[in-house]
Each structure stands twice: as C-alpha cells, then as structure tokens.
Amino acid sequence: MDWELIRSALALQSLPKVGPVAAKNLIAYTGSADAVFTESTRALMKIPGIGKEIINRIKEGANLKKIDDEVNFIVKHNIKVLYYLNQDYPYRLKEAMDSPILLFYKGNADLNQRRILAIVGTRKMSAYGKDICANIVTQLQKYNVLTVSGLAAGIDTVAHKQSIENNLSTVGVMGTGMQHIYPASNRNLAINMLQNGGLLTEFWSYTHGEPGNFPARNRIVAGISDCTLVVETAIKGGAMITAQLALNYDRDIFSIPGRIGDKQSEGCNYLIRTQKATLVTSGDEIAYHMRWDDPSPKTEKDYTKLNIPAKAKSLVKLLSEHDRLSIDVLTQNVELTTSELNLLLLELEMVDIIEGLPGKYYRLKL
C-alpha cells in the first residue's frame, strides 16, 4: 500500500466539517490529498463549497498521533485500505458523489464482482420474512451473486448466514470500526464471513456504533450494489433509508409483498404501491429482472473474435467483465476521449453488441 497516500487521506478524512463531497472537491482542485495541506488559503478559498471554517481546520492540521495509531492498527490486522481514486475501490460506489474517500476492508470477496445484491430489512423480522429471505438467497446460489447487508440483527443476519450456507460470498458493511462488531451477538458470524466474503467500513478502528453511523453505512450498502432487495420493513424503518438511497443512485429496487396491516410490511407494500420497487417473490425473479438468469460467464472468446475497431476491443473487454457499467466508469477506465467513447458506444449499439440502459449504463449483449 502507498502509505504516504493513505496517511494524507486519513488526515483529510479526520478533519471536522470535511465530509466526502468536500474532501473530493479539495483533492480535485489541489491535485492530491497531501497537496490540500500545503495549498495557500487564497487558493483554497476559490474552491466551491470550501469556506473559512474548513480552511481553518485544514491549516490547523490533523492529529498525527491518531493517524499513526490507525495505521498501526491497519498493519497489525492486515486490513486493506481502498482509496477512491484507485482501481480496487468499488466502481459502483465510486459513482456516488457522497461515497467516502477511504474504505477499510478485510476479507476475500471481490467488491467489483459482476453481480451484487444488497438485502435489507427489519431487525424485528417475522417468521415469514425470515423464511422468504432464506429461500431467496438459496435460489440465488446458482447465479453466483455477492450479497451485501449491514450485519445487523434480523434480516441482515439471515442474509449473511444463508449466503455462507449456500457458498455465496457475503459482505457486511459496518456502522462501526473494525475493533467493534455490532451487535456483539454477530461476532462469530463476522469471523465466518472473513472466510467467505468480508467486512467493510468507512469508520476508523476505534469507532463505536453511534446512531448517526448507520444511515451513513446504508449509503455504502446501496451504492456498492447493482440492486437492493427489501424483505421486511416498517414505513420508517432503516431499510427505507437504504431503499431511498438506492433510488437516488439509480439502482433497481425489489420488494417482498406483505400482509396488509402488518407493521413489518408497511414499508415494502408502500414501495410497491408507489412503483418505487418491483414486486418479487423469489430469487429467480430477481435474476430475471437483472438479466442474471443466464448464469454462464462471458468468456474471452466473446469479444476477441468480433469484427470491431481495435479501439473498441478494450471497451468491450471491460464490459464483458461486469454486468453493466455507467458512462462515468467507462470514461475513467478506457483510454479514449469523450467524443471517441460516445461514437464507439453508438457504433456498438447499432451492430447489437451492447445495449444502453436507463441512467447512462451499458451492458454487453453477447
């Protein structure tokens, strides 16, 4: 790992009043996290959204001892640090303007896997919710889906446990630092997930489960996934926050219908009634809507023998490795100008090699 980069990013992330959006603006205008701290006050004042309070925090500098302690913890526990401008950072999450500049990750799951489903729901689940969640995860086994949830009690726990039982990778996004598993009853589950998935957080190691951390956690659950399944939730449940965030990120929402009058199903029924979510009752239905129902992976022969311009082959290869990609991610990962990329996308659509999707996403049709 580039420890100089990590220390600079940690220093920036640690500053009060500097959230993800402000941090990215600062890095974009100054050129690097390190340059933020050496830039002149006059230059910082010209950056949109950066006022005197933030500049004062920057000039005061970060707590170097806290940074050293955090780095020591990262090294001791073999934690991977993901920086938002590096390729190993989850590309889906990178599209979200409010995604963190740093993530802390421990595990063996590929966070850029082709098919990722978030599963969320109430802590106070019913037997119905538990059974249908378990059944859906079991049905998804043949599609090689990575499941993501929040490691909370209830539906989250069922999603993680059932994924492990079906040999599906599963990642828990934590509202705490790596030192504190919450709830404590899921400690053994979290340890098991390290062998078949992983744990992910934006919070420093010592961070406890403060109430405000969990809505922040939810945006990562939504942003890292292709789609979100809401199993059971009250109308004001935390899963509704995740669903709304997923909608904001232009992701697909699926919801399990519940009995009229059941509090745990009010949120799900509302999402379906207002057409914010697609009603599903099985994992196969999710796979159908996401076009995951052809479980065979795209192989190299799909694109190497195509009669397409040489410049387009790297683009097609990139699309072959993912279920779908946004125009922003394509722009960042192919060596083409914006006009060249747009022209190639149009040409590939016309010959039926790729297809455009809502929200400026593209997928390979082979």
- What CATH code is carried by the domain that includes residue 359? 1.10.10.10
Residue-range definition of the domain harbouring residue 315: 301-364
How many angstroms separate the CA atoms of 141 and 139, rounded?
A: 5
Q: Does any domain span residue 88?
A: no
190, two tokens = 């979290």
> Is residue 317 packed enough to be buried (19+ CB in 10 Å), middle (13-18) or exposed (0-12)?
middle
Q: Where a domain ends, among 58, 76, 94?
A: 76
Is 133:170 a contact under the CB 8 Å cutoff? no
pLDDT at 347: 84
Statement to judge: residues 154 and 266 lie in one domain: yes
pLDDT at 299: 47
pLDDT at 300: 45
**Grouped pLDDT means (10 residues each) for the chain, 366 residues:** 92 93 94 94 92 92 93 96 93 93 96 96 96 97 96 97 97 97 96 96 95 94 97 94 96 96 94 97 96 62 60 82 79 81 86 81 78
Can you name the residues that pair with 325 across neighbouring β-strands?
362
Statement to judge: residues 330 and 285 lie in one domain: no
The CATH number covering residue 211 comes to 3.40.50.450
Statement to judge: residues 342 and 201 lie in one domain: no
Residue type for position 360: K
Q: Does any domain span residue 99?
A: no
How many angstroms separate the CA atoms of 103 and 99, rounded?
A: 9
The CATH number covering residue 11 comes to 1.10.150.20
Closest CA relative to residue 221, chosen from 202, 194, 206:
202
Q: Strands 80-83 and 102-107: what pairing?
A: antiparallel
Neighbouring C-beta atoms of residue 263, cutoff 10 Å: 15
Statement to judge: residues 50 and 112 lie in one domain: no
Is 253:276 a contact under the CB 8 Å cutoff? yes
Closest CA relative to residue 145, chosen from 109, 121, 173, 172:
109
Phi-psi region at 18: left, alpha or beta (left = phi > 0; alpha = psi -120 to 50): beta
How many angstroms separate the CA atoms of 158 and 170, rounded?
A: 11
Closest CA relative to residue 100, chosen from 148, 45, 33, 43:
33
What domain count does the chain have? 3
Q: Where a domain ends, among 290, 314, 342?
A: 290
Statement to judge: residues 72 and 114 lie in one domain: no
Residue type for position 22: A
Statement to judge: residues 230 and 342 lie in one domain: no
Is 156:149 a contact under the CB 8 Å cutoff? yes
Q: How far is CA 223 from CA 72, 243, 280, 324, in A?
A: 29, 10, 21, 14
Statement to judge: residues 215 and 344 lie in one domain: no
pLDDT at 44: 95
Quote the distance between the C-alpha of residue 76 and its chain's center: 26
Q: Where a domain ends, among 57, 76, 95?
A: 76
Statement to judge: residues 252 and 155 lie in one domain: yes
Q: Does any domain span residue 191?
A: yes
pLDDT at 24: 94
Closest CA relative to residue 81, chosen from 8, 181, 188, 175:
8
Is 156:267 a contact under the CB 8 Å cutoff? no
Statement to judge: residues 185 and 266 lie in one domain: yes
How many angstroms separate the CA atoms of 11 and 23, rounded?
A: 11
Q: Does any domain span residue 82?
A: no
Q: Does any domain span residue 295?
A: no
**Sign of the torsion angle spanned by Cα atoms 198, 15, 209, 152:** negative
pLDDT at 329: 80
State the residue for tokens 């913890």. 73
Q: Does any domain span residue 85?
A: no
How many angstroms separate the CA atoms of 109 and 100, rounded?
A: 19
Is 205:179 a contact under the CB 8 Å cutoff? yes
pLDDT at 220: 98
Q: Residue 265 has what DSSP assignment?
A: G
Indicate the SS3 state at residue 26. helix
Q: Does any domain span residue 98?
A: no
Statement to judge: residues 146 and 238 lie in one domain: yes
Q: Does any domain span residue 91?
A: no
pLDDT at 301: 43
Statement to judge: residues 284 and 360 lie in one domain: no
Statement to judge: residues 314 and 274 lie in one domain: no
Edge-to-edge strand ranges of the sheet holding 80-83:
80-83, 102-107, 197-201, 170-173, 146-149, 116-120, 227-230, 252-255, 278-279
pLDDT at 304: 54
Residue type for position 130: K
